[in-house]
Structure 1
Amino acid sequence: MGDYFSIDGGLVRFLSKASDICIIGILWLICCLPIVTFGASTTAAYYTIIKVVKRQRGTLSREFIQALKKNFKDSIMIHCFYLVIEGFLVFNIYQAYQALETRDSAVALNQLFIYAAFLLLVMTAGIYTYPALSRFSMKRNELIQFSFIAMCRHLPITILLIPIFLASIGAMVLLPVGIIFMPGICLYLYSLIMEPVLRKYMTEEMKKQWDGEEE
C-alpha cells in the first residue's frame, strides 16, 4: 500500500497523467480561440498527448509549442477548407429546414438528411486529419484524401470515434467545468483508438524512430 502512494506509485502516476491531460486540454482551448487555429491546436494537442502523456518523452509545453509551430500553416489551410465546406452544408441544412413548412415537406426532409449526412462525413474525416497531420508528412490534398479513405476503410473505428466526439461536445456545452477537462480526455480516448490505425500506415523506419529505438 505504501508503494502505491510513493512518488513512483500508481496513484501519483495517475494524478500526474490526469493533470497533464487537463493542461493539454487548456492549452488546446486557448489556442483554439481564434477559431481558424482549431486544426493547429488539435494537431499539437494530439501529438503532445502521444509523446508526453503516453510515451513520457519530452516536456509538455515544449512539445506542444513545437508541434503547433511545425504544422501551423498546413493545419490552418486544411481547417479553413473544412470550415468552408461545413459552412456550405450548414447553410443548406438551414435552408432545407426552413423549407419544411413552405414547400414539399418530403423533398425538404430528404435534402435535410442528405446535407446532414454529408456534414457528419466531413466532420468525421476531420477527426482523422489532425492526428495524421501530427504523424505524417503529406501534401494538404493528400492528407484530406487519406482522412476520407481511412474513415471508410476503418469503419468500426470510425463508429467508435463519433460518439466520443459527440459526447465531448455535449459535456463541454452542458457541464460548466467540461470545457476544462473534456478536450484533453477526448483526445486521450482518441489516441487509444487512433494509434493502431496510424501505425498501419507507418513504415518500419518510422515506427523505430517514433518508438525511440533510433535517434
Structure 2
Amino acid sequence: MTIQTQRLSPVFNKTNQVADILGAGFLWLICSVPVVTIGPATAALYYTVVKVVRRNRETVVKSFFHSFKNNLGQGIILTILYLLYGAAIGLYILAALEGRIQMNPYIICTLGIILACPFLFTIVYIFPVISRFQAGLIRQIQYALYMSIRHFPSTIALLVLLAFMAVLIYFVPFLMAILPGFYAYLGSFFIERIFKKYLAEEIKKYKDPTDLPWYLE
C-alpha cells in the first residue's frame, strides 16, 4: 500500500500543479475584464505561479489577491501606458500600410522597429518585475529594459512563447481561459533564473539556506 502511494504521489503532485495553474489563469482572466487591471492581474498571475506552483507555498487565491492588491496602483498605470504605446505602434503600422507616411520604405521599417522594440522587449518582463521588486515606476521600467537587453536570448524565447500562445488563442478563443497560466509557468523558468542574478547579494545575507525566503530558493 505504501509503495503504491509513493508511486502515485508524483502523479497527484502534477495534477495539483496543473489545477493550480488553471486556477491562477482563471483568476487572471476574471480580474482582467476591466482591461485597465490586466497589469496587476498579470503580476499576480506570475507571483502565484512561482510561489504556489513552483515553491509550493500558500494557496492560489490567497497569493493571487495578495499580489493583485499590492500591485494594483502601479499595475494600472503601467497597463494604461502599454495600451497607449501599443495603440501608437498600431497607428504607425496602419499609416505605413496605407501609404500616409511619405518616406523611404527602409526608413519607415527602421523607425517602426525602433518604435516597437522597447514595447516588445519590456512587455514580457515588466509585470513579473513589479510582482517581485519594490521600486518607483520609472525604475521598474528601467529594470525590465535592462534585463531584456542583458538577457537577450531569454527575451527572444519569451517573445516566441508569447507569440505562440497568442496564435493559439486567436484560432481557439476558449484557450484564453487556459493558456495564460501555462505561459506564466513556462516563462518563469527563464525569468526566475534571471531574477536570481540580481538577488545574489541578498542571498548572501542568509547563512542557513533553510532560512531563505521563498523567492530566493
Shift of 1:87: 1.4
**Displacement over 6 Å in runs of 4+:** none
Shift of 1:107: 2.1
Match of 2:81, as an amino acid?
Answer: F
Gaps of 5+ in 2: none
Please show how residues 51-200 of structure 1 align to structure 2 within 5 Å: 51-99=51-99, 107-108=104-105, 110-112=107-109, 114-116=111-113, 118-200=115-197
Counterpart in 1 of 2:47?
47
User: Between the two proteins, what is the percent identity of the paired residues?
Assistant: 26
> What's the TM-score, normalizing by structure 1?
0.88
Tell whether 2:13 aligns with 1:3: no
Gaps of 5+ in 1: none
Inter-CA distance 57–113: structure 2 relative to 1 (3 Å threshold): same
8 Å CA contact retained: 1:89, 1:118: yes
Mapped to 1, the partners of 2:138 and 2:147 lie a distance apart of 14
8 Å CA contact retained: 1:51, 1:58: yes
Counterpart in 2 of 1:210?
214
Mapped to 2, the partners of 1:2 and 1:118 lie a distance apart of 58
Match of 1:89, as an amino acid?
Answer: I
- Which SS does the other structure have where 2:34 is aligned? coil
Mapped to 1, the partners of 2:13 and 2:191 lie a distance apart of 23
Mapped to 2, the partners of 1:103 and 1:190 lie a distance apart of 37
8 Å CA contact retained: 1:39, 1:76: yes
Inter-CA distance 103–40: structure 2 relative to 1 (3 Å threshold): closer
Mapped to 2, the partners of 1:165 and 1:121 lie a distance apart of 16
Shift of 1:81: 1.5
Shift of 1:4: 5.7
Counterpart in 1 of 2:28?
28
Q: Deviations over 1:6-45 (max 9, x none)?
A: 4xx1111111111111111111111111111111000000
> What's the TM-score, normalizing by structure 2?
0.87
Question: How many residue pairs end up in the alignment?
Answer: 208
Mapped to 1, the partners of 2:216 and 2:118 lie a distance apart of 35
- Which SS does the other structure have where 1:167 is aligned? helix
CA RMSD for the aligned pairs? 2.3
- Which SS does the other structure have where 1:35 is aligned? coil
Shift of 1:120: 4.4
Mapped to 1, the partners of 2:215 and 2:165 lie a distance apart of 29
- Which SS does the other structure have where 1:2 is aligned? helix
Shift of 1:85: 1.8
Mapped to 2, the partners of 1:128 and 1:150 lie a distance apart of 8
